[in-house]
Structure 1
Amino acid sequence: MSDIETLGARVRGIAAELPVPDTQKAEQRLAEAHAGLSSALRESVEPAGIPQLARAREHVSKAMAVLSTASDNLDEYLISIGLNTAGNINESTSPDETVPVEVAPGSADWWRERVNTISEGDAKTEPGEVTVTRLFSELVERARRGDRDGYRDRLLVAGAGNGSKLPGLSWPLIRNLTADILGHAPTPKDDDRLRGLVRDPVRRLLPKLPEDVTLSQLHGACSLPHVAKDSEGRETDEKPHPADTAATGPAIVAALLSAREKVKGDR
Structure 2
Amino acid sequence: MSIVEDLGAQVRAAADELPIGQLAQALEKFGQAAERLRWVRQESADPMGVPELSAATEHAETAGYALRVAQEQLAAYLAAIGLASDGAPTPRGPREQRRPAHDAPREAPPPGSAPPAAGPATAPRWWAVRVAELTGGLQGPPEAPDETVREPRELLRRVVSGVRSGDRARLHTELRRAHADVGLGLAAVAPPLLRELAGELLGHPPRADDLPRLRRDLDGRVRDLLPGLPPPVLETLLTRVCRMPPPRRAEAEQPHAADPAVTAGVLAGVLLDRLGRDLPAEAERERQEARDRQRRDDEDRRERDDATRGREAVRQRDAAWERRAAAGREQAADARRRLAAARERIADVRRDSDG
Quickly name the TM-score band, shorter chain normalised: 0.5 to 0.7
Unaligned segments of structure 2, at least 5 residues: 1-54, 77-101, 103-124, 278-355
Name the CA distance, whole Å, in 1 between partners of 2:245 and 2:146: 36
Q: CA deviation at 1:189?
A: 1.6
Q: CA deviation at 1:255?
A: 1.3
The aligned runs of 1:121-140 (5 Å cut-off) are 121=137, 122-123=139-140, 124-129=142-147, 130-132=149-151, 133-140=153-160
Q: CA deviation at 1:153?
A: 1.1
Q: Which amino acid aligns with 2:273?
A: S
Name the CA distance, whole Å, in 2 between partners of 1:143 and 1:125: 23
The aligned runs of 1:94-173 (5 Å cut-off) are 96=56, 99=59, 100-101=61-62, 102-103=64-65, 104=68, 108=102, 109-121=125-137, 122-123=139-140, 124-129=142-147, 130-132=149-151, 133-173=153-193
Q: Secondary structure of 1:158's partner?
A: coil
Which string of whole-angstrom CA distances, capped at 9 and with x for unpartnered residues, describes residues 110-164 of structure 1? 2121111111122334312113232210111101122211111111221211011
Q: Which residue is 1:180 aligned to?
A: 200
Q: Contact 1:201–1:251 at 8 Å: present in 2 too?
A: no
Name the CA distance, whole Å, in 2 between partners of 1:236 and 1:190: 25
Q: Contact 1:146–1:204 at 8 Å: present in 2 too?
A: no
Q: Which amino acid aligns with 1:112?
A: A
Q: Contact 1:125–1:156 at 8 Å: present in 2 too?
A: no
Which of residues 244, 252, 258 in structure 2 aligns to 1:243? Answer: 258
Count residues with an aligned counterpart: 162
Sequence identity percentage? 31
By relative contact order (CA 8 Å, sep 6+), the higher-ranking structure is 1
Greater radius of gyration (CA):
2
The aligned runs of 1:12-51 (5 Å cut-off) are none
Q: Which amino acid aligns with 1:213?
A: V
Unaligned segments of structure 1, at least 5 residues: 1-94, 229-234, 263-267
Name the CA distance, whole Å, in 1 between partners of 2:58 and 2:165: 29
Which string of whole-angstrom CA distances, capped at 9 and with x for unpartnered residues, describes residues 50-95 of structure 1? xxxxxxxxxxxxxxxxxxxxxxxxxxxxxxxxxxxxxxxxxxxxx8
Q: Contact 1:98–1:221 at 8 Å: present in 2 too?
A: no
What is the TM-score when the length of structure 1 is the normalising length? Answer: 0.55
The aligned runs of 1:208-223 (5 Å cut-off) are 208-223=228-243
